[in-house]
Structure 1
Amino acid sequence: MMLVEWVGPLATIQDLGRPGWFDSGVGPAGAADRASLRLANRLVGNPEDAAAIEVLLGGLVLRAERHHTVAVTGAPAQAVLDGIPVGHASVLEIEEGQTLRLGFAPKGLRSYVAVRGGIDVAPVLGSRSRDTLSGIGPEPLRAGERLPIGPVPRELPLVDFAPVAGPTGETVTVRALLGPRDDWFDDASVLFAGEWAVSPDTDRVGARIDRVSGPPLRRLTSGELRTEGMALGSVQVPPSGQPVIFLADHPITGGYPVVAVVLDADVDAVAQARPGQRLRFARVS
């Protein structure tokens, strides 16, 4: 067991989601930054899809009730084990009674804490992920909660430290395909001109972006589409003209036109972009 002693802005349990339920109106959810979740699990010897903790901005305190092997990845929140700073994206051995504290990340948005054996809460529709839009899955973590840990895998961690580049505080460039509703705009290609900034109105559902430089993105009509399916990474444009890039907990349908879709490989970078951070789109065919 791991005891949750304190929680910052938000901490949820996430795995790689629950695909296959669109026909029942349920989205996949799962980790917003899937690469960081996978890395954390690999570091502790878990399967890549094991459930871990997604921490918004940092500020989590956990106390071990027995020995655990832990790794922290994603946004580089400083981890402190019983008052001693420890490395990011490294394997940590925590003994019974020791406390792991995460400070607030200086860049990036979401950190991931994996425990060897995985967070063993009851799955819902085949996943332990919290879907913040629908309310499906385990509740966000609260102080005083005890987290069950699953059986320890047979495979041992292979490395002590992963020398990978973390989230950047610089302008984020993401690749996107134009369409499918680019014909609803006066000139949809202006999405790729100039820079945008991530709005404070950002969560696991989507990242709203504001124009910083470059021409405005103008819709040709004030009408709306019939409801249609929405994919992860869709850049949906409501009448306000402020695009929203859909993230892990996005709605599975919508009626606003999608001007472009961010490549799946670049969605993780959007999920780590902080409010105020600049963003550019690079067009691919």
Structure 2
Amino acid sequence: MDSRTTEKIAFGFLRACIWVVIAFVAILILYIVIQGYSIMSWEFLTEMPKNRMTEGGIYPALMGTAYLVGISMAVAIPLGVLSAIYLNEYAKESRSTWIIEMAINNLAGTPSVVFGLFGLALFVKYLAFKPSIISASLTLSLLILPVVIRASKEALITVPQEHREASLALGVTKWKTISNIVLPASLPGIVTGIILSIGRVAGETAPILFTGAAFFLPRLPESVFSQFMALPYHLFILATSGLNPMETRPIQYGTALVLLILVLLINSIAIVIRKHYRKKLNR
């Protein structure tokens, strides 16, 4: 068998794998849409849950998820990007930086339930934030921080060293070089890491279970120190609480569909932003 035939077989196998993945994703999305479409309405999105969550809408869970995503990303993005800048642009190779990077890599693979227990011990009990939006959001920000740091650092590495040297040779300060040349060039990669983080925050259940998510709360949170409902935990409770499946099944799939749409919408916005900056860089 010559090399050209081997290459064709290899590419054919790769294409088949891609189509299998696409087919599974399409089937999953189609199934959720078919099952959840019947209950979708404006009232379902804007009403409070009623009768032990067997009636009404998911408005508190929808808003709770929005709060979690907003606060978590507001904390994790600046910390993650600045940490990546320090590690890649300022820190010299040493045993300390090696230990820090190893810790980041290990934390990125740590199960989310461990972060939930840590958030319970630190934010809920030690700092006395109690089960609340702020406790859950800070826990989730720690959960995604290693992902943001790794993605941002990899994006910064892709910027050619010649760009930095040319800027410094013109007398531009190091920080100006980073903020005006390196950071804009690496922005598409950083946004990619943020996209992955948003999806993980919106879909996590274990950390918020320990730090503030409520089983049934037919009202909006009064402040960031209040308990809340969230779409993934709401879906988990509906599926496992022993309620009548015939009553809760439409709400289960409706909640799953809303969560799916929310994540896709946020990711689409981030992808548009990434494409915008890529076009801007290529001009």
Task: Identify which of structures 1 and 2 has the higher relative contact order when contacts are C-alpha pairs closer than 8 Å and 6+ apart.
Answer: 2
TM-score (norm 2): 0.22
TM-score (norm 1): 0.22
Question: Higher strand proportion, which one?
Answer: 1
Question: Higher helix proportion, which one?
Answer: 2
Query: Higher Cα Rg: structure 1 or 2?
Result: 2
